Amino acid sequence: MSVNESSYYESLDMFLSYIRLNKNYSVNTTEAYSRDINYFIDFLIEKKLSFEDITPRVMREFSVYLSTKFSNPFSPSSVRRILSSIKSFSKFLYKNSYITKNFGNFVVYPKLPEKLPKFIDEERIITTLNELEKNLDKTPTNVRDLTILYAFYLTGMRISEVTSLKLQDIDLSSKVIKIKGKGGKSRVVPIHPKLEDKVNEYMKYRGVMLTKKTSLFFVGESRNGGLSIRQMRNIIYKYTSLMGSRLSPHGLRHSFATHILDNGADIRVVQELLGHSSISTTQRYTHTSLKRLRNIYKKAHPHA
């Protein structure tokens, strides 16, 4: 082993000891850092480069190396993870004066391929909601949770919007919900008859669930008298798991958008309902539904 190679591994050992003992990282996490940084050390040895020789170009070449060198190349997300480990390693070396320039600043993360939104089939979600209606005991918590589920699916609201929803935001006389969205932008969405029923039912129980005086619509045991975002998310996970596809609250928002587009809603209307500032964000949902694609194909193709 040459002197330069020895210095690489001495530096790595110091870093691993630091994150294990000072940062209390687990053995598994420490080993993951070791694997990631060893890829970089192997690359530097192959190129006969010291830490001081590293430039932005060297970091770009390393990203290409990870994506092409191996028989099973790393995915963009794995490349990002490895580069993140190297940034932490470089920061440690620089802060402790083992190197004179922080080569971690030269890291440029590869873009991740855009994932299409995940959603639940319309028939499955309706069937499950109907089964929940029949089988759930009418406890205050169950009634509240089912109302939350309907609120997400029938309005397309974001989790922050549902969590912060206030009593005065729901206007049953006009059958609308006033939503304060991202960036303080307000919008109005209609209340579906089914959601109206659930809101009326929930209001019979809301009073007995209050732990403190609050204007929040959905109440719970958080310090503000409502539900935290984590609690709200866990409620959605619990019930969407019964639908055969554990979805986040955002997944229900995706389902809302996809299903109303499938049923003929104009994309500009969907944009307004979702509170998107750009139509390009809403257009992502036009690519998600096989049902929609099949219907268009059948209508358009002469031999379909």
**What CATH number has the domain bearing residue 80?**
1.10.150.130
| Per-residue confidence (pLDDT) for residue 3, from 0 to 100 | 44
**Residue of 35, 124, 182, 287 marked catalytic:** 182
| Per-residue confidence (pLDDT) for residue 301, from 0 to 100 | 58
Q: Say whether 276 is catalytic.
A: yes
Q: Per residue in 253-290, pLDDT tens?
A: 888 888 888 888 888 888 889 888 888 778 777 655 55
Q: At which of 75, 106, 137 does a domain end? A: 106
Q: Per residue in 141-193, pLDDT tens?
A: 999 999 999 999 899 999 889 999 999 999 999 999 999 887 778 899 999 99
Q: Does residue 111 lie in a domain region?
A: no
Residue 203 contacts residue 299 (beta carbons within 8 Å)? no
Q: Does residue 116 lie in a domain region?
A: no
DSSP, collapsed to helix, strand or coil, labels residue 90 as helix
Residue 41 contacts residue 9 (beta carbons within 8 Å)? yes
| Per-residue confidence (pLDDT) for residue 291, from 0 to 100 | 58
Q: Are residues 98 and 142 in the same domain?
A: no
Q: Are residues 8 and 69 in the same domain?
A: yes
Residue 43 contacts residue 65 (beta carbons within 8 Å)? yes
Q: How far is CA 92 from CA 87, 88, 247, 270, in A?
A: 9, 6, 38, 48
**Residue of 206, 253, 254, 259 marked catalytic:** 253
Which residue ranges in the chain fall short of pLDDT 70? 1-4, 113-119, 244-246, 286-304
Burial status of residue 84 (CB atoms within 10 A of its CB: 0-12, 13-18, 19 or more): middle
**Residue of 144, 259, 276, 292 marked catalytic:** 276
* Number of separate domains in the chain: 2
Q: Say whether 185 is catalytic.
A: no
Q: Does residue 194 lie in a domain region?
A: yes
Q: Say whether 182 is catalytic.
A: yes
| Per-residue confidence (pLDDT) for residue 89, from 0 to 100 | 96
**Residue of 198, 239, 285, 292 marked catalytic:** 285
Q: Say whether 287 is catalytic.
A: no
| Per-residue confidence (pLDDT) for residue 50, from 0 to 100 | 92
Q: Are residues 92 and 167 in the same domain?
A: no
| Per-residue confidence (pLDDT) for residue 1, from 0 to 100 | 41
Q: Are residues 150 and 278 in the same domain?
A: yes
Q: Say whether 303 is catalytic.
A: no
| Per-residue confidence (pLDDT) for residue 122, from 0 to 100 | 74
> Helical H runs in the chain?
3-21, 27-47, 56-68, 76-95, 122-135, 140-155, 159-163, 193-209, 229-241, 249-262, 267-274, 279-283, 290-300
Q: Say whether 158 is catalytic.
A: yes
Q: Which domain holds residue 285?
A: 122-300
